[in-house]
Structure 1
Amino acid sequence: LMLGDSESEASWSEFFSWLKNRNLRGVDLVISDDHSGLVKAVRTHFQGVTWQRCQTHFMRNIMDATPKSVKDELYPHLRAILDAPDIGTARLLLNQTLEKFEKKAPKAMQVLESGFDDATAVLMLPEKYRRRLRTTNGVERLNEEIRRRERVIRIFPNRESVVRLIGALLMELDDKWTSGKKYLDMTEYLQWQKEQKQACDRNNVVHIR
C-alpha cells in the first residue's frame, strides 16, 4: 500500500519504482485505462511489456463520442470486435465498422481506430485468460470496496490513519484471495509462455555449415 497525491506520471513512476525496489519482476502484461500519466509511467518502468487498454473504459470512450441516435446501432458492432476469437477476425470487423459508421459517428470511429491495437492486445494470450485480463474490473471492484469504507470516515486526520484503515481492509481481502478460489490459475499460462519462448529460440537459431 502506498499513498499518492495525484494520478500524475510522477506519482505513478514513484509507485512503480517502489514496487520494483520490493523485487517486482517478470511483468508480462499491464492492464489499465488510457490515463496519460499512468500509461507514460508504464512505458518507462516496464519497457517491453504488453499494455492492454481496459476494454470497459475503451467502450465508454467510444460511446461518449457517439451521437445518441447511433449508439444502439453501433454497440453490437463494437462488442463483436472485442469478443472476436483472434486478431484477424477483430481487424476484419474493425474495418467493416469503420466503413459503416465513418459518416454517422466520425469522432467515435477515430477513437476506435486509434485505440484498437491496445484494446485487443489480450488476443495474443490463450483464450482461457482473455476475459479476466481484458478489463480492470477486478481492481475496480477492489477500489469500490475501499471507497465504501472511506466514505464513512469522509475526512482522515492524517496519512497514517488512511494507511491503517485501507491497510486493514487490504489485509482482510488478501486473506480471502489466498485461502479462497484463485482468480486466475496461471499453470496453463506458464506452459504457454514456455512454449512461446522455445518457438522463438528455434526461429532465432542460425545454422552454419
Structure 2
Amino acid sequence: MNYQTFYYEVLYERGLRRIDLAISDKAAGLIEVLPEFYPQAKWQRCVFHFHKNILHKVPKQKREEVIPMLKAIHAQEDAKSAREKAVAIVDKLEAMKLGSAAGILLNGIDESLTYYQFPREHHRSIRTNNLLERIMKEIRRRTRVVGSFPDGKSALMLACARLRYIATKSWSDTRKYMDMTKLEETELQQTA
C-alpha cells in the first residue's frame, strides 16, 4: 500500500464518507487513488502550483510579463471564458518563444478550472490548497522552535493545540471559511 492510498483510507475509516472536491498539486498518486474511496469527488489542480509549474519554464527576465497573463486566465467569469483566455495566452507565449510554458498551460488548463463547477462565492477558497499549506507551515514552524520532543504524543499535542487555536480564532461562528448553504442550494437546484 502506498502512502496516497493510506491517506484516503485513513480519512474513510475515520468516517469521512463524502468529498465533493479534492485540491492538490499534480501528485499523480493522490489523483489516481481518489476514485477508489471517493468516486464522486472532483479534482482541482491548485492554481498557484499550476502557475508555478508554468513559470519554471519561463526565464526570470520574462516572468514579470507572464505572471499577469496567467492571473488573467483565472479571473474570468466562467470556465469557457477562462479556456478561451488560456488559448490566447498560449499563442502569446509561443510568440515569446516560450513553447514549453505554453505546452504546460495548454495541457493542464482544464485541471485548474474545476472550481468553476461550484458556487461563485466559493471560488476564492477552492482555487488553491494554499490555506492548508499555510497551516502546515505554521505547525512546522512551531515544532522546529521546540526542536526535539520526548515522544510522538507531545508533538501531536502541539499540532492539535495550534489547529484548535486556528479553528476557534479564524473559523469561529462569526467568520466562516465557506458558507456551505450556497453549496446545498446549488445541489438542490441540480436535483430539481
Normalising by structure 1, we get a TM-score of 0.83
Contact 1:31 1:52 (8 Å CA) reproduced:
yes
Q: Distance in 1 between matches of 2:63 and 2:49?
A: 16
Task: List 4+ stretches of structure 1 deviating above 6 A.
Answer: none
Residue number in structure 1 paired with 2:67? 75
Separation in 2 of the partners of 1:30 and 1:119?
12
1:178 shift after superposition: 4.1
- What stretches of structure 1 of length at least 5 have no aligned partner? 1-8, 199-209
CA shift at 1:114, angstroms? 1.6
Query: 2:36 and 2:147 mapped to 1: Cα distance?
Result: 35
The aligned length equals 190
1:86 to 62, 78, 83: 78
Structure number with larger C-alpha Rg: 1
**Structure 2 residue ranges without an equivalent (≥5):** none
1:195 paired with 2:189, answer yes
- Percent identity of paired positions between Structure 1 and Structure 2: 34
Contact preservation (8 Å) 1:70, 1:105: no
Q: Distance in 2 between matches of 1:129 and 1:113?
A: 25
Quick check: 1:33–1:53 contact (8 Å CA) kept in 2? Answer: yes
Q: 1:139 aligns with which of 125, 132, 146?
A: 132
CA distance in 1, matches of 2:38, 2:55: 30
Residue 179 of structure 1: how far off its partner (Å): 4.4
Aligned AA for 1:110? G
RMSD of aligned Cα (Å): 1.9
Is 1:27 aligned to 2:5, yes or no?
no
SS at match of 1:24: coil
* Residue 95 of structure 1, aligned match among 87, 99, 117: 87
1:102 partner SS:
helix
Report the AA paired with residue 42 of structure 1.
Answer: L
What are the residue-to-residue correspondences of 1:51-62 with 2, within 5 Å? 51-62=43-54
